[in-house]
Structure formats: structure tokens, C-alpha cells
Amino acid sequence: MKRDFINFYELSKDEVLEIIEYAQKLKKEPFTDQTLKNKSIGLIFMKPSTRTRLSFEVGVYQMGGQPLYITGSSTQISRGEDIKDTGRVMARYLDGLVIRTYSHKEVEELAQYFDKPVINALTDYLHPCQILADLQTIQERFGKVEGIKVAFVGDGNNVANTWLIAGGLVGFNVSVATPEGYEPSGKAVYKALKLAKETKAEIRITNDPVEAVKDADVIYTDVWVSMGQEGEKEKKKAFEGFSVNKELLRHASKNAIVMHCLPAHKGEEISEDVFEQFADVIFDEAENRLHAQKALMSLLFK
């Protein structure tokens, strides 16, 4: 039976921890896993990308496979072909699909008609591969992920949604601080709280960044205006006071780290001095996209 990774909770807690552990091994031995040998993996990108594209292309190559980069404009999707028809056609050629796009529902529909693994490389609702790499980074820094506290400060976007669900699933505390009206998806909050009943994770939503970061081990942020929302310039006014800076760090744990999924708009969601202070963490995090995604593909394609 084929497995997809569209929603973070499609993995079990144990599988998430196994992926993190295996990713650390692959980081040291990049060509040891040849699960994708003689396989062709389609990479559909409806949105521009740096880290996601490079990490998947290199990862598929290192695992012995052939990555095929496919822009949305180069397919009949851009001319209105049904997603289900695209999925059925691509299934005749490809062994797997990675897709970075806008609509989460379209990815779920694509997976229904593509009879091999489909990986969500980003939708407007979730960014699950990013959080796998982030958890690997946290494991490297703290020696664990369970029981830590992650404070997300900024827009309640796809990254914030995924952090909430991951915390509930794996068993670490997540506090999300956004301005009023920019809270995370209610669907994501509901799912996180449901999962947290099993793991005893604490899930909190607030409009006070100081409250969110109190005693946090990890302070996390992302751009205030996501890709495709560039016209919402007035949105930035609502985020005054939600910048991750030295003042905000004073309220976190003494050994707290700062993370950012990149690209960063320095001077907005994060101050340049804080970004440079934690640059080694942030770029380890970016590198770990490669290793965590390889560990994920190893699980899905075996």
C-alpha cells in the first residue's frame, strides 16, 4: 500500500523520531541509502523555490534516483487540466511526486489519483518537510525534541500550523503569538489539541509575543507576508512588536536558540543582529532539509 506525506500527522510519533535519527546518519554518509535507484521522481513547483528545490533535487540524486523538475507553467495544469487527470497521466511515467503549490486540497486530490508516494513540499496550509528538518536541528542542539518548548512569533501561516500539529503529535510544547486576526488555522489548532491529549503537549495561542517566548527553548519566526500575498503591504503595520529581537530574547530560556525557515526579511520579523547571532543554527536548519527529506523518502519508498 502506497504512503503519502501530505499532512504531518500521516507519520506516527515513532516514525518522526526515526526519521530524525536516520537523517543524522545520512548527514554523515550521504550516499549510503540507494532506495531511489532506477526511480524517477517528479518535482512539481507552482511556486518559486531555493531550498526546497535544491534539497529535493540533490536528495533524489544522492539516493540513486532521477529528479525531474516541473514548473507549473510547463504543464497543462496551467491551462486548466484537471488535477486528477494530471495525476493519472504522471503515474504512468513517474515513481513518485513532490509538489510545492498553493492549494492543500489540490495536493490531496492529486494523491488520490497518483498511485505512488506524493510528498507535500509546501501548501498554503502546511509545510511539513520544513518541520522535519527543524526537528532534526533541535535534536542536534538539545539532544531531544520531546519536552522542549517552541515559541512561534509572527503570522499564523502554514509553518505555524505545522508546528502546532507536530507538537501535539510528537509531544513538545508549542506557543504561537500573532497579532489579532492573524491566528493559525482553526483546523490546525483543533488537530493539535486532539493529538496533544495523547502526548500531554501544551498548545497555546496568544496575541502577546512576550508571553509566548517565556521560558522557550526555541524561538521561531517566518516572513510576515508570505509568497503570493505580496500585495498585502498594509499587513506589516499589524505586526509591530512581533519582531524577534534582543529585547524579546530576554524573556526566553537562557540557552534558547532562534530559528528561521528562510528567506528572511531582516528588520521585519527578525532583527539583523539576532539573525547573525544564530546564523549557524539557521543555516544548519536549511541544510537539514536535504537530510530529513532523504530519510522521509527512504521510509515512503521502501
Q: Which residues of 242-265 are buried (b: 16+ CB within 10 A; e: fewer)?
A: bbbbeebbebbbeebbbbbbbebe
215 domain-assigned = yes
How confident is the model over 242-246, as a mean pLDDT? 98
Same domain, 114 and 188: no
**Among the options 51, 53, 104, 127, which is catalytic?**
127
**Phi, then psi, of 218 in degrees rounded to 5:** -130, 125
Same domain, 25 and 119: yes
The pTM (predicted TM-score) of the whole model is: 0.96
Same domain, 181 and 251: yes
Same domain, 229 and 136: yes
Same domain, 228 and 244: yes
Q: CATH code at 16?
A: 3.40.50.1370
Query: Quick check: 173 and 206 in contact, CB under 8 A?
Result: no
Query: Which three three-digit cell numbers place residue 118?
Result: 506524493
Same domain, 98 and 234: no
Query: Quick check: 192 and 167 in contact, CB under 8 A?
Result: yes
222 catalytically annotated: yes
Same domain, 174 and 63: no
1 domain-assigned = no
C-alpha distances in Å from residue 231, one per residue of 226, 236, 264: 10, 11, 18
Q: Name the residue range of residue 68's domain.
A: 8-127+288-301
167 domain-assigned = yes
Same domain, 111 and 27: yes
**Among the options 51, 260, 289, 291, which is catalytic?**
289
**Mean per-residue pLDDT over the chain, rounded:** 95
Same domain, 279 and 134: yes
**Among the options 100, 104, 260, 291, which is catalytic?**
100
Same domain, 112 and 208: no
219 domain-assigned = yes
**Among the options 4, 51, 139, 261, which is catalytic?**
261
Give how many domains the chain has, as a whole number: 2
130 catalytically annotated: yes
129 catalytically annotated: no
Same domain, 162 and 202: yes
How confident is the model over 296-300, as a mean pLDDT? 98
44 domain-assigned = yes
pLDDT of residue 227: 60
Same domain, 137 and 267: yes
**Among the options 33, 53, 62, 130, which is catalytic?**
130
261 catalytically annotated: yes
**Among the options 104, 139, 222, 260, which is catalytic?**
222
139 catalytically annotated: no
Confidence of residue 60 (pLDDT cuts 50, 70, 90): very high
2 domain-assigned = no
Beta strands across the sheet bearing 66-71: 66-71, 40-45, 96-100, 118-122
Coil, strand or helix at 128: helix
pLDDT at 78 over 90: no
> Where do we find the cell 502546511?
126
200 domain-assigned = yes
How confident is the model over 255-259, as a mean pLDDT? 98
